[in-house]
Amino acid sequence: MSTFNAVSDSVQALILERNGWVPNNPRLPVLVYPGAIAVRDGDAAALIEETFRANGWPPQWRYGIYNYHHYHTEGHEVLGVASGQARLMIGGPQGHVLEVKAGDVLLLPAGTGHCNLHASEDFLVVGAYPPGQQADICREAPSEAQLAKIASLPFPDRDPVQGREGAVVRYWTSRR
């Protein structure tokens, strides 16, 4: 079960419940920022990296999104689409399908299932995490220790796109 609500003109929130073996994050919503970064000529990935870095989310990789369902227990993950487009499933098998394109950003709280269903050949994503956090690839039901890790991960100080007054600050900190 999921609930998709418009948080503001520029951000949408998706609350996900556990979905089979995928824990999701019942406390923190997925935040979707359509067209958040104006990607034009030049190195769009570098622009996204600069935006994330300026807001305290050190970029860690450039790649796509895996075509199998997985989640992370060791980090909240922000994904900035630098080029192309894709159909993603968020929340695990039979989850919520999102269409993303260059300039869109997704913020996935730890535990959120995600999978690439189909992408254009030029699909490129920049991934980042709050300082001290990282991605682990989980493809099975979480242990009690992993669930505890998800629940205890610290909140970031700033929104990766909107900074100190951004959506993550407004909509995640209210759920502490």
Q: What is the pLDDT of residues 100-157, one digit of tens each?
A: 999 999 999 999 999 999 999 999 999 999 999 999 999 999 999 999 999 999 988 8
Residue 145 lies in a domain: no
User: What band does 84 get if pLDDT is binned at 50, 70 and 90?
Assistant: very high
Alpha carbon 80 to its chain centroid, in Å, reads: 8
Q: Is residue 61 situated within a structural domain?
A: yes
Q: What is the CATH number of the domain that holds 95?
A: 2.60.120.10
pLDDT on residue 89: 98
Residue 155 CB neighbour total at 10 angstroms = 14
Any domain includes 144: no
Whole-model pTM?
Answer: 0.91
Rounded to 5 degrees, what angle do the CA atoms 64, 86, 56 make? 55
Please indicate whether residue 79 or residue 155 has the higher confidence score (pLDDT).
Answer: 79
- Classify residue 29: in a domain, yes or no: yes
**What's residue 174's pLDDT?**
59
Residue 148 included in any domain: no
Is residue 167 one of the residues assigned to a domain? yes
Is residue 151 situated within a structural domain? no
Q: Considering the chain, what is the average pLDDT of its residues?
A: 90
Percent of the chain residues past pLDDT 90, beyond the cut:
80
- For residues 104 and 39, what is the distance between their CA atoms, to the nearest angstrom? 9
Q: Write out the residue range of the structural domain in which residue 109 sits.
A: 2-139+156-175
Instruction: Please determine, for residue 5, whether its predicted confidence score (pLDDT) is greater than 70.
Output: no
Q: Quote the number of domains for the chain.
A: 1
Mean pLDDT of 152-174: 86
CA-based torsion, 33, 122, 82, 80: positive or negative = positive
pLDDT of residue 175: 57
For residue 34, pLDDT beyond 60: yes
